Structure 1
Amino acid sequence: MSKVYKAVVTVADRFVPGKLRPLWEHPAGPKTIFFWAPAFKWGLVMAGLGDLKRPVESLSVPQSVSLAATGLIWSRYSLVIIPKNYSLFAVNVFVAITSLYQISRAIKYQQALKEKETAKPSAQ
């Protein structure tokens, strides 16, 4: 741990109320990277939610597939590590859900395009 981080934690230690002590002292609590990594990963979820308004033709299927796979893999991992990291689990479930939804949008769009192409020759 860096000296600055240790100093900040030491100062903050004095102000943590007794009721929040168990969370503060938890092996995956705010004193560790196990807390901060999932906290910052919520940015991916917010970006995924922002992409829900994105035009479907501009979605990247490979990107969505990789995010969905990452979310699923890390969701599983977060439950087998010690200590179990439920915040990591939650964020990765949401990463996977938003990505799977984007994949479904892209697949429906591609199917609709194919249906239009097959319908054109019969209309002539």
Structure 2
Amino acid sequence: MAATLRAFWNSPTGPKTTHFWGPVANWGFVVAGLADMQKSPETVSPNMTGTMCIYSCLFMRFAWVVQPRNYLLLTCHMCNEAVQQYQLYRWYSWYSKQPAGTKVSTSMAH
């Protein structure tokens, strides 16, 4: 057990590296997205949620091509992608049920 922990500690993707701490910090996006599922879908920003989807897709690609491969980062962004897409689905389901003429702008600029 000690040898396994030592090997992990000293590995190129272990806790001594940004390969470890970057993904750990990014799990905050996933946790925040899960917490937001308790809120009304009308509070979801489709612009920001779409941006988060693009961000996670780009970082999934990065996590796959970087050497050594960063499976922790890949997993984190796969989970974030799923959470954000579900948020978009919740928002769109709510938005599409709004009566015509009452739909509010989704743009941040008013």
What is the TM-score with the length of structure 1 in the denominator?
A: 0.76
What is the identity, as a one-letter code, of the residue corresponding to 1:28? T
Gaps of 5+ in 1: 1-15, 119-124
CA distance in 1, matches of 2:97, 2:49: 19
Equivalent in the alignment of 1:88: 73
Equivalent in the alignment of 1:78: 63
Equivalent in the alignment of 2:97: 112
Higher helix share: 1
What is the identity, as a one-letter code, of the residue corresponding to 1:81? V
CA distance in 2, matches of 1:110, 1:33: 40
Kindly state the Cα deviation for residue 117 of structure 1 after the two structures are TM-superposed: 3.6
Kindly state the Cα deviation for residue 44 of structure 1 after the two structures are TM-superposed: 1.0
Kindly state the Cα deviation for residue 29 of structure 1 after the two structures are TM-superposed: 0.7
What does 1:6-85 correspond to in 2, within 5 Å? 17-85=2-70
Gaps of 5+ in 2: 102-110
Equivalent in the alignment of 2:87: 102
CA distance in 1, matches of 2:68, 2:16: 14
Which structure has the bigger radius of gyration?
1
Greater relative contact order (CA < 8 Å, ≥ 6 in sequence): 2
CA distance in 2, matches of 1:92, 1:56: 22
CA distance in 2, matches of 1:117, 1:33: 49
CA distance in 2, matches of 1:117, 1:81: 48
